Amino acid sequence: MSEGLSPLDRPNSYIGRAVPRPNLARLLQGRGLYVSDMTLPRMVHVAFVRSPYAHARIAGIDAGAARTAPGVVAVVTGAELAEVCTPWVGVLTHMKGLKSAPQHAIAVDRACWVGEAVAAVVATTRAEAEDAAALVEVSYEELPVVADMEAALAPDAPAIHPDLGDNLAFERKLDAGDVEAAFASADAVAQAEFVFGRHTGVTLEARAMLADWNPGEQRLTVYQGTQAPHMMQNIIAKHLGLEETQVRVVCKDVGGSFGVKVHVYADEMATAALARMLRRPVKYVADRVESFLTDIHARDHRCKGRIAVNRQGDILAFEIDDLTAIGPYSMYPRTSAIEANQVVNLVGGPYKTPNYRARARVAFTNRNVMCQYRAVGHPIACSVTEGLVDLAAREIGMDPVEIRRRNLLPDDSYPAQSASGMKFEALSHHAALDKLVAMMNYPALRAEQTDLRAKGIYRGVGLASFIEVTNPSAAFYGVGGARISSQDGASVRLDAQGAVVCHASVTEQGQGTEAILAQVVASAVGATLDKVRIILGDTDHTPYGGGTWASRAAGIGGEAAWRAGVALRENILKVAGVMLQADPSALDITEGQVIDATGQARVGLDEIARVVYFRPDTLPADFQAELIATRHYAPKAYPFAFTNGVQASWLEVDIKTGFIRLLGHWVVEDCGRILNPQLVDEQIRGGVVQGLGAALFEKCEYDARAQMLNANMADYLVPMASETPDIQIGHIETPTADSMLGAKGAGEAGTAGAAAAVVNAVNDALSPFGVRLAEIPLTPELVLKALGVVL
């Protein structure tokens, strides 16, 4: 900076100079644009030719017949598209040792899972594109398939990516306290191998993108169903060789996401690249089969665990060995190692034992890619932890409620830290458990259970305590080099008629973000709710932020909106003070009216807006009104705002058919200050239902050739209303002191503990038979096999 010069007088100032319009300047830079480029081309549709093999070399592609088919605009191969879109590698620097191969938008040399795109067909309609795609002839040379996670890590297993050396993508080990001494001194040791079925999000609305390249502006506008518009802006710009200012991402209401739409998908990157290549709008909407084959899968884990206890019921140690398979690539940019890493972080988290040993391994296979899905890692960690706790209780003859009361972190022990190093500001395990026991009338259920067993009816009660990661800081991704913002922002302004408009960087996928922000802004400013408008999901108009994931919309996005609203309120009161010749500190705003200390309305927000925007000449010459405020917020005091809770399931098992009937489900959760009770309750209920799906129904079935066998809604089962029990919700409120609102997240709590509670309830129901199940989904076949029934 030149000393003593104002911005107007600096040598590099543009003030007082003749400069061309930015867009005209681009046109004059010799970029090969012609008059024909300035016309508005017709939108086209893309369909992808996808590999039928789990692993094969692409020997040749004959697209002659497809190129001459009706309506076809272009047929593009991976090699051709690679000239426009660079490949990516899904690693984070803080995940030490994590490796992955470069992934292209369209496969160039090899297809590495069934459904990977090997060519794109662009046509004037989707039907024409699909018809032409069927005419593309691809010659494949089949390669060895790695279909199983354990086989993937065998010494003689073929490496899916030879340059990486082997199929071990990531490994983490942790050893806290004195685990060996704890197990040596234990009165009882219980162990089990927990198996989790791979499943996926099955969103109501499939993934979709419309990318529109404007040659005149040299700008790409992307309409996408995503959870993180600014992340996608950065990544699209980076891999298409553009500046971020040349990319606009627009995300309106999304029909469900659950983490599925927070990742970078190859076919969506291909769509953006095709729009730039062809200089016209290109649209892609996945069909349901494509969703099953290419939407991320999750939860494919096999985890061996053991627990040490003494006869008094004190938990002395946990130990786990977790193995998971992620597909042929680590997803970009969040990586596919986060789920296993979360399992290590969260196992044993609610309990006070300091002794904990863990190993997690992540293996490449030739199944579909796997990554973060609602409650990343939590259901695995909770199921392992709570399953072991119930096993320990059975070993020493202690009631499941009592062993938890004896070992949960005390409510007056905070701040505290788990054996894995997770830092807890303030939790309420005991208050939550006490409330749950009262809500479900636990003694009465136990008495009913005993009476029914005498009649040959087998019912069970299952409990699951849990912790939940919310409001993540930069410790999640930023420290690893990913351009994923841990902050969110909000701009709040008073418009010319006295209404309040809020632009915020979080997004809406049906969880009620807009409603929460409207409540927050109306309360912060003092406006009526009907006078607040929320605008989300547009990188051209909203402040920079991380978007919606990891239960952060209310806790981080809501906090930014609150702070911006409070700042706007202060600005409005300054104007009111001038207009009324009063001290602003003696004024307040309620129901859209500025009131004095007596509560009398003095002037409306509409009148303040009129004066500021249209009659500023009536205000003092040295006073400048500001009816807009922008604030950002990122958590600072703790890496995560942990929440906690406990769930219970009451169910009946038919020992003749193996069918499980859910009779009741209870959840008590502490998500800090509750901003909207109805939305919180429904978020929890929705999460529970997804957890019930994992427990009883959902599984992506594969054969030995890594072919998915149930990629349709007839064979992939999801829970329906008839299978869903009444879900009762209770709350404890422990606000975080890291923000003004004190809100934490609630979006993943239901999913975190539901499966664990159901499995524990099934095992409780079957305890008279001495069997123990530790695999989900708990199908009738599994139940009958455990009971020794020959099928």
Average pLDDT over residues 5-10: 63
Q: Which of 20-29, 92-101, 143-152, 668-677 has the lowest mean pLDDT?
A: 20-29
- What would the pLDDT profile of 47-90 be if each residue is shown by its tens digit? 999 999 999 999 999 999 999 999 999 999 999 999 999 999 99
Among the residue ranges 209-213, 314-318, 549-553, the one predicted with the least confidence is: 549-553
pLDDT of residue 25: 41
What confidence score (pLDDT) does residue 430 get? 98
Q: Are 745 and 551 in contact (CB under 8 A)?
A: yes
Measure the CA–CA gap between 91 and 103, rounded to whole angstroms. Answer: 12
pLDDT > 90: what percent of the chain? 94
Q: Residue 127 above 50 pLDDT?
A: yes
Neighbouring C-alpha atoms within 13 Å toward the C-beta of 357: 16
What single-letter amino acid sits at 177? G
Query: What does the DSSP 8-state code read for residue 241?
Result: T
Q: At what angle do helices 429-440 and 400-407 cross, to 10 degrees?
A: 160
The number of angstroms, rounded, from the C-alpha of 491 to the middle of its chain's C-alpha atoms is: 24
Q: Please calculate the CA angle 466-634-749 and round it to the nearest 5 degrees.
A: 20
What gap in Å lies between CA 635 and CA 487, rounded to an integer? 8
Q: Which two tokens stand for residue 412?
A: 């007056």
Instruction: State CA 727 to chain mean position distance.
Output: 23
Strands 532-536 and 500-504: parallel
CA–CA dist 260, 269 (Å, integer): 16
pLDDT over threshold 60, residue 243: yes
Per mean pLDDT, which range of 352-366, 469-483, 526-540, 562-576 is the poorest? 469-483
**613-653: per-residue pLDDT in tens?**
999 999 999 999 999 999 999 999 999 999 999 999 999 99
Query: 27 pLDDT band (50/70/90 cuts)?
Result: very low
The CA distance from 584 to 575, in Å, is 8
Look at residue 75 and give its three-state secondary structure: strand
Q: What is the pLDDT of residues 224-234, one digit of tens each?
A: 999 999 999 99
- Tell me which DSSP letter residue 554 carries: I
Q: Which tens digits make up the pLDDT trace of 79-96?
A: 999 999 999 999 999 999
Residues 400-439: tens digit of each pLDDT: 999 999 999 999 999 999 999 999 999 999 999 999 999 9
**Strand ranges of the sheet holding 356-364, from the earlier edge strand across to the other edge:** 168-176, 356-364, 315-327, 301-309, 188-196, 775-776
Would you list the DSSP string of 282-328?
EEEE--HHHHHHHSPEE--EEEEEEEEE-TT--EEEEEEEEEEEEES
Residue 404's pLDDT is what?
98
Domains present along the chain, CATH in parentheses = 7-32+487-633 (3.30.365.10), 35-143+206-254+260-294 (3.90.1170.50), 375-472+639-786 (3.30.365.10)
To which residue do tokens 């789990």 refer? 54
CA dihedral 100, 102, 106, 107 (to 10 degrees): -80
Task: Encode pLDDT of 160-178 as tens digits.
Answer: 999 999 999 999 999 999 9
Residues 6+ apart with CB under 8 A from 141: 56, 57, 59
CB 124 within 8 A of CB 69: no
More confident residue, 25 or 203: 203
Report the percent of the chain where pLDDT is more than 70.
95
pLDDT computed for residue 18 by the predictor: 67
In this prediction, residue 226 carries a pLDDT of: 97
Q: How many CA atoms lie within 13 A of 275 on its CB side?
A: 29
Q: Which residues contact 225 (CB under 8 A, 6 or more apart)?
A: 205, 207, 208, 209, 251, 254, 255, 257, 261
pLDDT at 544 over 70: yes
- Cα angle vertex 222, ends 105, 130, to 5°? 55
> How do residues 373-406 score in pLDDT, each as one tens digit?
999 999 999 999 999 999 999 999 999 999 999 9
75 φ/ψ angles, rounded to the nearest 5 degrees: -120, 125
Per-residue pLDDT of 329-356, as tens digits, reads 999 999 999 999 999 999 999 999 999 9
pLDDT of 31 reads 37
Assess contact for 267 and 47: CB atoms under 8 A. no
Whole-number Å distance between alpha carbons of 577 and 253: 40
Mean pLDDT score across all residues of the chain: 95
CA 44 vs CA 36, 121, 126, 129, 282: distances in Å? 18, 10, 8, 9, 5
pLDDT of residue 687: 97
522 three-class SS: helix
Position 475 confidence tier, pLDDT thresholds 50, 70, 90: confident
Which stretches of 82-228 are DSSP H helices? Answer: 126-133, 149-152, 179-184
pLDDT at 12: 66
Q: What is the mean pLDDT of residues 557-577?
A: 98
Q: What is the DSSP letter of 717?
A: -
Which amino acid belongs to residue 358?
A
Measured CA angle at 94 (ends 92, 98), to 5 deg: 55
Closest CA to 239 of 369, 100, 113, 332: 332
- Rounded Cα distance, 645 and 401, in Å: 14
